[in-house]
Chain A
Amino acid sequence: MTTESIAWPRSAVESRPLVQRLHEWVITVDHKRLGILYIVYALLFLMIGGVEATIMRIQLIRPHNDFVSPQVFNRMFTMHGTTMIFFVAMPVLFGFANYLIPLMIGARDMAFPRLNAFSFWMTAFGGLLLYFSFVGGDGLYGAGSAPDVGWFAYAPLTSQTFSPGHSTDFWILSLLVSGFGSIGTAINIIATVLCMRCRGMTLGKMPLLPWLNLVMAGLVIMAVSPLTAAQLMLLVDRYLGGHFFDTQAGGSAVIWMHFFWVFGHPEVYVLVIPAFAFASEIIPVFSRKAIFGYPVMVAATICIGFIGMSVWAHHMFTVGMSSAANTFFVLSTMAIAVPTGIKIFNWLATMWGGQIDFKAPMLFCVAFLFQFLIAGLTGIMLGSAPFNWQLGNSYFVIAHFHYVIVGGILFTLFGAFYYWFPKMSGRMYSEPLGKLHFWLFLVGFHLTFDFMHIPGILGMPRRIYTYEPGRGWDVWNLIVTVGVFFQAAGVLVFVGNLIWSSFRGELAGNDPWDAWTLEWSTPSPPPPYNFAAIPEVKSRRPLWDLKHPEDPDWQYE
């Protein structure tokens, strides 16, 4: 392994005009630049999705509020869900995967750099198409309108009969287009991880992050394909006289639910497995210990991948399946708690006996462990079908999956941002601002999503633009809305920190965290070729071996 770098003519770097430098970002096929494009793009949509959530929460702050009309509220929850899943969570995770996988496996780029660029621009185009619906949704007259069919767009609400105009078409097309992008990225990740590893890096010596992203990519191919197919079928229904989901002509609304959730549930694992990957890199470094039970962590992830494909109908316990089908999906849903639990215990064991350094990345990961525990336990409650008949489609479900997606995924993502920011920008972020962000967001998160469980238990269904007084929901909704403003403040501090530190932060050096994986052996930010010479590794922690020649890992693995 080597840390030397090839001299790059300075004139080539600095003296070009701005337009030319921007143009290079547009035509780039470099995995690091595409990774950053994905991440910045997702951050922009995170802000938009956050504004949509805030509008909903202001509307629900008290009963019979009239901050927005029912039509606007329905568009807000549809756009919030679609945006956050397809144009924030997936792109940002793909961005980190793109940036990190080649660096961590000692490669110079992804396997298919041009497919990589194509995938990014498809995803980007999909997001723009979705938001164009605000101006173009109703055609040429009118002020336009966004889709209002909910993010899982149950049939037959999406048929021409109930959704005339074009807003639903924008929803269909944007997911269709970004779906192709997602599948392209998944193929690329699989090919990269399987074919591009440096010498000595067998699959058993590969860091957990590429391993988990490999499983994630497999899930993307299996889950996004049926969704993309379903979007095409829906288009056929709407424009070519098909009757797949047209209940008035003998079609089936339930088939759409199966198509959607056979995507929708694995999608949860598509999002959470990369989050697990961040935690699996950050927790060991900030505990100063090797990951506990590496082979078990890999096995548990693969297990989650397989079981995750067989649990989708737990989103459909209330649609009137037979008791046999309900019972099967209870079993598969509860079974997935076992490998997930194993992962939590392994992270716990990794911290056990370590010297935990509570820098911002680790703070977010520790909060993730506690929050993901709670999310998993409310998941068991929802997985118990009869309990689900009460809790399903209520605010309890909203609280549960935001505990997964915000408390689990977004928290580790923030951790990942702080952890790899020095590598990506070459500069350190501000640690006090990072901690301020953590505490603001933690308080906001718990105000919002802890208290959101309660109106669900008290019978408040989701997707209602207003509610009756006297149901016992008022005070909880007020608290939930107050929390949103803490979260928003936290995100503003976060974005401000990133922007300020990109220009004014201290220089980070190659390896600010005294870490152990290959990306820390190159300069920060890494040169376009990543490694001057392709490294060779003997263990899962090549930089540990380098720093501790007297006690290298490969003696024990």
Chain B
Amino acid sequence: MGGVRYFRCGAVFAAVTASAAPAHSPLSPTNIFAPVSTPAQSIFDLSLFVLTVTASIFLVVFSLLAYAVVKFRRRSSDDRREPAQVYGSTQVELAWTVIPVLIVVVLFLATARVIASIQNVEQPATALNVTVIGHQYWWEYRYPSQKVVTANELHIPVSDPAHPIPTVLTLLSADTDHSFWVPRLGGKTDLIPNHPNSMWMDPHETGLYLGQCAQYCGTQHAKMLLRVYVDSREDFNRWIQEQQQPAHSAEQVSEGQRIFEQTACVSCHTVAGTPANGTNGPDLTHLMSRQTIAAGAASNTLENLMAWISNPAVIKPGCKMPSMGLSAPQAAAVAAYLETLR
């Protein structure tokens, strides 16, 4: 984020967010008031304007109400005569009709401008297209031009304002409604079956940006987390090249691979270059290039992999992956096999 700009805005919203955050450690990794991409920034600028207007209205009306309540309270010195009865006033009514109408017109025009600036934008030919498919409790990412398929951790390139490479997401759903929301990169857009949507982002800074599913999609909606890695251009290209490789193939088929391919694992998971070609679950070809498993619910360690393979419900009760009833040595062998999928 622009350090100076953010700090100023942070100070303005000290009351809202409790304290002004220093420029590079926002209060929260998912703070909507710490934008790093153009759509998020336009929303932030608009929200500053809306907040200023509403805060002014609040101050005026709050003061009038508070004044009336204190000033016109019944006092013990009052005689019991009724106060003067006033039935209304056309001039006053007109005033408090016309002024709000003017405020509404201004707010509407400011809003309409930002809607158009985000929704009606021609993207340059350099834009990166990614298809996001929501599944019950995990995210599938497809890069059609690059022929890359991955899951749960989205990698996109940083976009330099001088040579922008915006990322355009096509949002689809394989089952129920979901919503893609990474607050620092942009507003949320829903993934609805039979109703393709799209959104775009052009992050200006590298880093990891967090978010999560924002439309209730079933039992494990809470653990359908989003991780977006904004890489430098070189890192992104390297990542794409790695993802395009087939699975790491060992000299001989390991015990774990044999178990993996002989149980139902392969009917949901794909490991490119092997018989595993299921599509109901995340693509595991380069599983070890990811930092988390189970849509961000656990870090990608050998222990967690073994726990997840043995009984997924321990980490995500209600998730769609069944327990295969593997013994501990079998689960360890499968985990060891998965560890080779770099």
Q: Give me the interface of A with B, judged by CB distance under 8 Å.
A: 69-71, 74, 148, 150, 154-157, 162, 247-248, 250-254, 287-290, 292-296, 318-320, 322-323, 326-327, 330-331, 334-335, 337-338, 341-342, 344-346, 348-349, 351-358, 366, 369-370, 373-374, 377-378, 380-381, 384-394, 453-454, 457-468, 470-473, 548, 551, 553, 556-557
The interface-forming segment of B22-30, B151-159, B259-267 is B22-30
Q: Check if A327 sits within 8 Å of B176, measured CB to CB.
A: no
With a CB–CB cut-off of 8 A, which chain A residues contact B211?
Answer: 459
Q: Is B145 an interface residue (CB 8 A)?
A: no
Residue among A287, A346, A381 making CB contact with B72, cutoff 8 Å = A287
With a CB–CB cut-off of 8 A, which chain B residues contact A345?
Answer: 96
Q: Is B120 an interface residue (CB 8 A)?
A: yes
Determine the distance from Cα of A357 to Cα of B332 in the docked complex, in whole angstroms.
74
With a CB–CB cut-off of 8 A, which chain A residues contact B69?
Answer: 351, 356, 366
Determine the distance from Cα of A502 to Cα of B33 in the docked complex, in whole angstroms.
52
Q: Check if B16 sits within 8 Å of A341, measured CB to CB.
A: no
Question: Separation in Å of the B50 CB from the closest CB of chain A?
Answer: 5
Q: Check if B50 sits within 8 Å of A380, measured CB to CB.
A: yes
| Given A355-B72, A356-B69; A253-B177 close (CB under 8 Å) | yes
Q: Check if A369 sits within 8 Å of B111, measured CB to CB.
A: no
With a CB–CB cut-off of 8 A, which chain B residues contact A253?
Answer: 177, 192-195
* Total contacts A-B at CB 8 Å: 283
A553's nearest neighbour on chain B, judged by CB, is B85
Chain B 26-67, CB within 8 Å of chain A: the 1/0 string? 011111110000001011001100110110011001101100
Q: Check if A390 sits within 8 Å of B187, measured CB to CB.
A: yes
Q: Check if B221 sits within 8 Å of A289, measured CB to CB.
A: no
With a CB–CB cut-off of 8 A, which chain A residues contact B96?
Answer: 341-342, 345
Q: Check if A295 sits within 8 Å of B216, measured CB to CB.
A: no
With a CB–CB cut-off of 8 A, which chain A residues contact B111?
Answer: 327, 330, 334, 384-387
Question: Separation in Å of the A284 CB from the closest CB of chain B?
Answer: 10
Question: Separation in Å of the A496 CB from the closest CB of chain B?
Answer: 28
Q: Check if B215 sits within 8 Å of A384, measured CB to CB.
A: no
| Given A154-B216, A253-B192; A320-B46 close (CB under 8 Å) | no
Question: Separation in Å of the B108 CB from the closest CB of chain A?
Answer: 5
Determine the distance from Cα of A499 to Cα of B26 in the docked complex, in whole angstroms.
51
Determine the distance from Cα of A248 to Cα of B176 in the docked complex, in whole angstroms.
10
Residue among A334, A459, A548 making CB contact with B104, cutoff 8 Å = A334
With a CB–CB cut-off of 8 A, which chain A residues contact B118?
Answer: 386
Jot down 11 A-B pairs with beta carbons below 8 A, ordered by A: A288-B82, A294-B88, A296-B93, A319-B197, A342-B97, A344-B61, A348-B68, A373-B61, A380-B54, A384-B46, A386-B46
With a CB–CB cut-off of 8 A, which chain A residues contact B112?
Answer: 327, 330-331
Q: Is B188 an interface residue (CB 8 A)?
A: yes
B136's nearest neighbour on chain A, judged by CB, is A162
With a CB–CB cut-off of 8 A, which chain B residues contact A548?
Answer: 82
Determine the distance from Cα of A453 to Cα of B16 in the docked complex, in whole angstroms.
9
Q: Is B6 an interface residue (CB 8 A)?
A: no
With a CB–CB cut-off of 8 A, which chain A residues contact B75?
Answer: 355
| Given A318-B188, A352-B68, A386-B111; A357-B74 close (CB under 8 Å) | yes
Q: Check if A390 sits within 8 Å of B32, measured CB to CB.
A: yes
With a CB–CB cut-off of 8 A, which chain A residues contact B179?
Answer: 318, 393, 461
Interface residues on chain B, number (Cβ under 8 Å): 94
Shortest 4 CB-CB contacts between residues of A and residues of B: A389-B187, A459-B30, A472-B28, A464-B222
Which chain B residues in 188-247 approach chain A with CB under 8 Å? 188-190, 192-195, 197-198, 210-223, 225
Determine the distance from Cα of A369 to Cα of B114 in the docked complex, in whole angstroms.
32
With a CB–CB cut-off of 8 A, which chain A residues contact B4?
Answer: none
Residue among B17, B43, B74, B89 making CB contact with A356, cutoff 8 Å = B74
| Max chain A Cβ within 10 angstroms of own Cβ: one of B101, B114, B193, B216 | B216
B297's nearest neighbour on chain A, judged by CB, is A468
| Given A156-B175, A342-B93; A387-B212 close (CB under 8 Å) | no
Q: Check if A472 sits within 8 Å of B87, measured CB to CB.
A: no
Q: Check if A318 sits within 8 Å of B30, measured CB to CB.
A: no
Question: Separation in Å of the B36 CB from the closest CB of chain A?
Answer: 14
Q: Is B122 an interface residue (CB 8 A)?
A: no
Q: Check if B108 sits within 8 Å of A330, measured CB to CB.
A: yes
Which chain B residues in 70-94 approach chain A with CB under 8 Å? 72-75, 78, 82-89, 92-93
Excluding A253-B195, A254-B195, 16 further A-B contacts by CB distance (< 8 Å) are A157-B217, A252-B194, A292-B87, A294-B87, A318-B214, A330-B112, A342-B96, A349-B89, A355-B72, A356-B74, A358-B73, A387-B43, A390-B188, A393-B181, A393-B188, A464-B212
Q: Give me the interface of B with A, judged by CB distance under 8 Å.
A: 16-18, 27-33, 40, 42-43, 46-47, 50-51, 53-54, 57-58, 61-62, 64-65, 68-69, 72-75, 78, 82-89, 92-93, 96-97, 100-101, 104, 107-108, 110-112, 114-116, 118-120, 136, 171, 175-177, 179, 181, 183, 186-190, 192-195, 197-198, 210-223, 225, 317-318
B103's nearest neighbour on chain A, judged by CB, is A337
With a CB–CB cut-off of 8 A, which chain B residues contact A71?
Answer: 219, 317-318
Determine the distance from Cα of A388 to Cα of B32 in the docked complex, in whole angstroms.
11
| Given A71-B219, A391-B32; A293-B195 close (CB under 8 Å) | no
| Given A247-B194, A463-B221; A157-B177 close (CB under 8 Å) | yes
| Given A70-B317, A348-B65; A289-B190 close (CB under 8 Å) | no
Q: Check if B18 sits within 8 Å of A386, measured CB to CB.
A: no
Q: Check if A162 sits within 8 Å of B175, measured CB to CB.
A: yes
With a CB–CB cut-off of 8 A, which chain A residues contact B190?
Answer: 318-320
With a CB–CB cut-off of 8 A, which chain A residues contact B210?
Answer: 459, 471
Determine the distance from Cα of A331 to Cα of B78 in the docked complex, in whole angstroms.
47
| Max chain B Cβ within 10 angstroms of own Cβ: one of A345, A352, A356, A461 | A461
Q: Check if A150 sits within 8 Å of B216, measured CB to CB.
A: yes
B69's nearest neighbour on chain A, judged by CB, is A366
Determine the distance from Cα of A386 to Cα of B61 in the docked complex, in whole angstroms.
26
Question: Separation in Å of the A54 CB from the closest CB of chain B?
Answer: 19
| Max chain B Cβ within 10 angstroms of own Cβ: one of A341, A354, A357, A386 | A386
With a CB–CB cut-off of 8 A, which chain B residues contact A334?
Answer: 104, 107-108, 111
Determine the distance from Cα of A373 to Cα of B55 in the docked complex, in whole angstroms.
11
Question: Separation in Å of the A326 CB from the closest CB of chain B?
Answer: 5
Question: Separation in Å of the B196 CB from the closest CB of chain A?
Answer: 8
Determine the distance from Cα of A462 to Cα of B47 in the docked complex, in whole angstroms.
21
Question: Separation in Å of the A164 CB from the closest CB of chain B?
Answer: 12
With a CB–CB cut-off of 8 A, which chain B residues contact A385?
Answer: 111, 115
With a CB–CB cut-off of 8 A, which chain A residues contact B188?
Answer: 318, 389-390, 392-393
With a CB–CB cut-off of 8 A, which chain B residues contact A459?
Answer: 28-32, 181, 183, 210-211
Determine the distance from Cα of A289 to Cα of B42 in the docked complex, in whole angstroms.
48
A467's nearest neighbour on chain B, judged by CB, is B222
Residue among A294, A323, A462 making CB contact with B120, cutoff 8 Å = A323
B96's nearest neighbour on chain A, judged by CB, is A345
Residue among A154, A338, A381 making CB contact with B101, cutoff 8 Å = A338
